[in-house]
Amino acid sequence: MSQARVTALECPVCRGPLRGLRHDVLFGCSACDLAVYIDDGDRRAFRVRFAAAEVDEPGPRIHLPIWEVLVRVDVPAPDRDRARLASLAREIERVWVVGFRARHPSLFDDPGLELSERRFEARDDPHPPSGAPLVGACRGPAVIARSAELYVLDFLDRRADVTDLAVDVGISRAQLWAVPFVDKEGRLRELLTGTSLPDHVFEDLPEIRAELARDSA
């Protein structure tokens, strides 16, 4: 009979407590700007970068995880198609994948060229804003890598027929970003592009709000 395994949720750097929600697989240490991935014995630490807000709007802020995945794409193809497909593959340098639970992830990570060209700027202050823990990180590296591969295939398929071609998508780096949103009037507004979405799209939002309310109590 297998025995339950208990893993201590402590930061590998400062040994302080990590925090997260019930569905999370990455647990944050605000003091060290780290998110520690814990899954069936696999334990890895990712540096969290806090994105600078481009849109200024008052209201309570929530920082949600979004992965920036740098990719290498190779499309072996017949000679007649090789040049075109190679050119399309070179357009794809990065893919953005949400790290939180969303009812419609495509609202955030459309794999088109516009998203591939997007850039986040880190805050001038490398430390997280006051009262901005990263929570809700329930999508780990394996899920992110698979999502990035699917988005690349979708991007190529919109522009060329890649049926039966062995598209190779390699992941060179995955950076975890904490992206600011304003939580107000039943909607969350992303402060990078100004995109506003109804709060029911964010599945773990009630738990995130409860976690932040405990901080301010």
Enumerate the domain spans of the chain: 49-216
CA distance linking residue 37 with residue 34, whole number of Å: 10
pLDDT tens string 204-215: 999 988 888 877
pTM for the predicted model, two decimal places: 0.83
Q: Which amino acid is at 208?
A: I
Beta carbons within 10 angstroms of residue 130's beta carbon: 7
Torsion sign over Cα 172, 148, 110, 87: positive
132 pLDDT higher than 80: no
DSSP annotation string for 43-96: EEEEEEEEBPPSS---S-EEEEEEEEEEEEEE----HHHHHHHHHHHHH--EEE
**Contact between 54 and 35 (Cβ < 8 Å):** no
pLDDT tens string 81-114: 777 777 887 878 888 888 998 877 666 655 433 4
* Confidence at residue 20, expressed as pLDDT on a 0 to 100 scale: 86
Chain position carrying tokens 């430390």: 127
